A and B are shown apart, each in its own frame.
Chain A
Amino acid sequence: MATEVGPTPVKAPASGGTPIHHGPKGVGEDNKILSQGKWASWLLAPTVIALAVVIVYPIISAIVMSFQKDAGLDPATGLFTAGGSAGVQNYVNWLAQQCAAPAGGTVACPPGTLGAQFWSATATTFFFTVVTVTFETVLGFWMAMIMARTFRGRSMVRAAVLVPWAIPTAVTAKLWFFIFAFEGIANKLFNTSILWTGSEWPAKWAVVIADVWKTTPFMALLILAGLQMIPAEVYEAAKVDGATAWQRFRLITLPLVKPALMVAILFRTLDALRMFDLPYILTGGANNTTTLSILVINQIRQGFNAAAALSTITFIIIFLVAFIFVRFLGANVVEQSGATGKGKK
């Protein structure tokens, strides 16, 4: 949703160091916790109820819909008839790329149907995710290292990096569409005549470039904040011990920034997995730039119920990725955000 609206990682009260403030004093006094629990449930009720209404209800509704058939055409009258129950057919159709056959039953979806695009859209989504997040991390790190130095005009640079972040994605997409036009400034500046939106790889790179432009600054600020948590004495000590710049980076900077970095990467990844605005406006999903989100939107007008199945699949994919991150890659989000630093696994 709020794709690339930077604040995402904000949601990531991250690991890294021990929490400065422990929860209320007197942890362990059971009755106090009990009364606090009462308080807490009152305070949390509105948020939980609100989220239940705007999220849990649609999820359940989508799941119910996904087991229904979409309306079909009665060949005799040419009129639509209601679909009835579909069982898991909608899911099978997407995952196995099966489409309805004229003679009844299903056949492999021919190119030119939405069904034929499921796996390619999944691959495209993951491609965008891996490539943009990698670039954003590397470039973001570099930008953060520069901004961490002291030089005149530093505050100007820090302010400038917020500009791409502040421009709405929809506007960004229109802007890059214009820049990447055949007669546009990009081709003029680099003296090329690339059809940026006309074939697969240029189109993909156009999306990647626009996305990296938009979100790297945000990544950089996050990493910068992590860098500034490292006391200068640590570096001084390392210098005295004769550590090279690369060693200092690898042995000090990286490990100390890692917890914050992992969380930032997790949230950027989840954001990239639901990428919609940018390819939707920039390429219209042509040339293999259709992401899962675009596929769902295209399906809505061809049948709610199949779209509901697809959106449920998308949700599950994103959920799985988040799970893997938290479980295996040590992006400790929930635990670390608790007031009592439970530490890592």
Chain B
Amino acid sequence: MNTEKLYQQLQKINEAKGYYFNRDMDKTMFLLESLVKNRERYGYMCCPCRLAQEDAKADRDIICPCAYREADVREFGACYCQLYVSKQWNEGPIPEVYVPERRPEEPSSRITRLSSDR
């Protein structure tokens, strides 16, 4: 799927939920290309700003839109990778701030599993 089609498809779904694409179109299109790239190499749209474990189950909380989007957009006006933002964020009154990683640290028992470990 090309990114233009992905853009239109996701825009409709997510704006209805109150999440808007970042007004910086270069960033938005780069992020959409990155999602397509991650789907091609991992089989799922892992968040472009997080390191995939190459395991959809282990990464289910960071498959875009990630499980942390709602809390991040509510607190910072933008999700972790700044693909999705609030209407107000896009219209400017909210300063663009660094969004810290909300995902809890991995439990020590769950080490990073790589394709060669399967």
Asked whether A and B interact, the reply is: no
